[in-house]
Structure 1
Amino acid sequence: MGIGAMEASSPAAFDDGGTSTTIEDLPADVLALVLRRLDGASLAAVGCASSGLHGLATDPDTWRALCLAMWPSVLDLLPCLGRVDHRALFADAFPFPCSSPSPSSPTSPPQQPLPARLVSAVDLRHAGVSILSRVVETDAASDWFLGAPFRVDALVQEGFTSPTAASAISPADVELSWVLLDPATGRALNASSRRAVAVDRKWLTGDTVARFAVVLGGEGGVALDAAVTCDQRYGHIREVSLRVEDADGAGVSGRDGLAAVAAAMAAPRRRGCRGDGVARERYEDFVRGKRTRKEWKARREGFLELCCSGVGAAAFLGFLVMLTFR
């Protein structure tokens, strides 16, 4: 049942012989079962229709079931967070972050405090079947993490195959959800696209890397590069990781990566669509920007080398002239 049907039935969609019956006349338990069949966006919209529907649409058990259906790893968040507001979690983690000014922009919002601890809820599916679901805790306050390149690994073993898939794992059939949470503030962030935005083949190793990247900020921003590395020779997954890449393609330090994540957690979320196509378009723009900057740097370095060569040749000729006319 979609949101259009719910809106059509409220407040008076049933008319039998001049007697109007509203959807709220249905038993509360029946309405609760109906609402549990809605997606998150529709459920939130139904809650705005009336005070009665608002009470049913904000039921914690309904939102918990919705979050568990989308992110099975949420079940393991309680030991890490102590308490989970599933409705707030969905509002933060389901939409993609909106474009926000880069940290160096004069119109940037005030810098947010860096999280001292990050919790990652990682769910990996192949052909619609869950093959990995786990929670990863990261000490983000350590000097080692702040000084090293930002990186979080979600695998505890070297590699694994799908226990249910009949064939080898194919990167094209893989879906990844990586949600970052700050236990101190309770804010969350969708750090991966649901479908791969790019698939790269490493010819030397035979690995295929499916990238589920989310770009933060406008021009000169950073990309949250969630990647799944598949070994095509043996048909298993070797690595599931998250790193932060800057506009030049270089890895970002833990401190700068945390600053970008904290700013994105506090920023608004994209509304009106799932945003899978938007995530791919923004990543393609990000890659084109990297390529343009590399070409510009190569031209600049070539020009500098030419100038240096010219200066060197002129100095050498001047030296020969001086020796000739002594």
Structure 2
Amino acid sequence: MSCSHTTTPAADHGGATAITAVHPEIIQTHILKRLDGATLAAAGSAGSQLRELCSEENLWREICNSAWPSTTDPIVRHVISGFPSGHRSFFSDAFPTIHHHRQGEERRRGSPAPELISAVDILYGEKLIYSKAIVSETSSGWFRSSPFRIDLLGMSETVPTPVKFAGDEATTVAHLEKHLTLSWILINASTKRAVNISSLKPVNIRRHWLTGDIKINFGTVISGGEITGKELAQCSVVAMCEGKEGGELHVREVSMQVEDMDGKTMNGKDSMVILQDAMERKRKKREEGEAKERYKEFVEYKKQWREIKQRREDRLDMACIAGGITILIAFFTLVLLGSERGRIYFSHLF
């Protein structure tokens, strides 16, 4: 007599049904769609079945579109479709922060990008206040030799914010630090890599004493390497806000550029080498307040660098002055010697 066996749902030690026994459609529709990108990526490492479900392109497209509305732009969407795993690969590049280069670490070389795509989103709290995709050519001689800078807004374009400027600078700054976020993702279509070069939250906010404009820095410290001759550089993302007392603050300028330790804007050629290197680097989890702390360290490092540079210049100036004095003394000595010899010569003649 043969015995038939029935398959029962897998259960854990507590008697609860394992997630692998749940219908895949239920997992995708009612569980995975509720996860954010980081949690979804972690869930994908829990088993082969979940890995397959968590790799679904539609899930990652929705996550990217929700986190960065600029990814819905046709240009950005087309480029992401060419990434190795589509939106999942794009998220793994754009969500974590850059792993900063250390001395002695091997630097990778990416292919030169004929163009650079920027996907930029500005939010106040959960509300999107501006989103845009920009394509910048990077191969012309003008771009390579000119200071590197990308401007998000047009000459007369402004972006309103929900922030009311009450005249109290401390209150306004606190609101901006807590609620304003800016994401600037750079995409290299030729290498299918991307990097978010913004700190997301402001690392520094300063009000101009004369104009009253508020400068908000979302800068990220990156590797400078042999390009700058110094260890560090800064990818400076700056938003300028203006507003009258009692009215709304308006963003009137948003720009991105790469600066060296002296605060000078680097040219397009050198900037692209640094940015491409950042795209190829490892990523790491963003920690709360890390970007701001890194920026403070960078500012202090720049101060020390300027002091060292000033001391070198002072020593060089002193050496030049000493050299000049030595030359003058030698010259006058020769003149005096020449005069003395001449006097003796003429005295013998007469």
Q: Same fold (TM over 0.5)?
A: yes
Partner AA of 2:98 in structure 1 = P
The equivalent residue for 1:3 is: none
Q: Relative to structure 1, is the Cα distance of residues 14 and 58 closer, same or farther in structure 2, using a 3 angstrom cutoff? A: farther
> Which one is further off, 195-204 or 79-88?
79-88
Report what 2:31 is aligned to: 34
Is 1:114 matched up with 2:101? no
Counterpart AA for 1:21: T
8 A Cα contact 1:159 1:236, kept in partner: no
Per-residue CA deviation, residues 130-150 of structure 1 (Å, 9 max, x unaligned), is 111010000111211111111
Find out whether 1:180 has 2:186 as its counterpart: yes
Which residue of structure 2 lines up, in the alignment, with residue 149 of structure 1? 147
Shift of 1:202: 2.7
Q: What does 1:123-138 correspond to in 2, within 5 Å?
A: 123-138=121-136
Give the TM-score, by structure 2 length: 0.78
Letter in 2 for 1:275: E
1:276-304 Cα offsets, whole Å, 9 max, x none, are: 42222222222212111111122222233
Q: Letter of the aligned partner of 2:236 in structure 1? A: D
Q: Does 1:294 align with 2:306?
A: yes
Distance 2:267 2:79 in 1: 29
Cα contact 1:14–1:22 (8 A) shared by 2: no
Contact 2:111/2:190, CA 8 A, preserved across alignment = no
Pick one of 5, 20, 23 that aligns with 2:19: 23
2:262 corresponds to which residue?
248
2:330, 2:80 → 1: CA distance? Answer: 78
| Number of equivalenced pairs | 307
Larger Rg: 2
Q: 1:21 aligns to what SS in structure 2?
A: coil
Q: Secondary structure at the match of 2:214?
A: strand
Distance of aligned partners of 1:306 and 1:78 in 2 relative to their CA distance in 1, 3 Å threshold: closer
**Aligned-pair CA distance for 1:253:** 0.9
Any conservation in 2 of the 1:220–1:246 contact (CA below 8 Å)? no
Change in Cα spacing, 1:48 to 1:199, as seen in structure 2 (3 Å) is same
Work out the CA distance in 1 between the residues paired with 2:43 and 2:251: 41
Query: Which consecutive residues of structure 1, in runs of 5 or more, have no partner in the other structure?
Result: 1-10
Judged with a 3 Å threshold, the aligned counterparts in structure 2 of structure 1 residues 82 and 309 are, in CA distance, closer, same or farther, namely closer
For the residue of structure 1 that corresponds to 2:218, the secondary structure is: strand
**Aligned-pair CA distance for 1:313:** 5.0
Q: Which deviates more, 20-29 or 69-78? A: 20-29
Q: Deviations over 1:94-113 (max 9, x none)?
A: 011111257xx6x5434322
Task: Kindly report which structure 2 residues correspond to 1:167-316, keeping only aligned pairs within 5 A, or say none.
Answer: 167-168=164-165, 171-172=176-177, 173-217=179-223, 220-233=231-244, 235-270=249-284, 273-312=285-324
Separation of aligned partners in 1, 2:205 and 2:80: 37
Q: What's the C-alpha RMSD, in Å, of the aligned pairs?
A: 2.7
Q: How does 1:7-86 map to 2 (within 5 A)?
A: 12-13=11-12, 15-16=14-15, 20-32=16-28, 33-78=30-75, 81=78, 83-84=80-81, 85-86=86-87
Task: Provide the C-alpha distance between the structure 1 equivalents of 2:317 and 2:108, rounded to a whole number of angstroms.
Answer: 41
Structure 2 CA distance for aligned equivalents of residues 194 and 76 of structure 1: 20
Normalising by structure 1, we get a TM-score of: 0.84
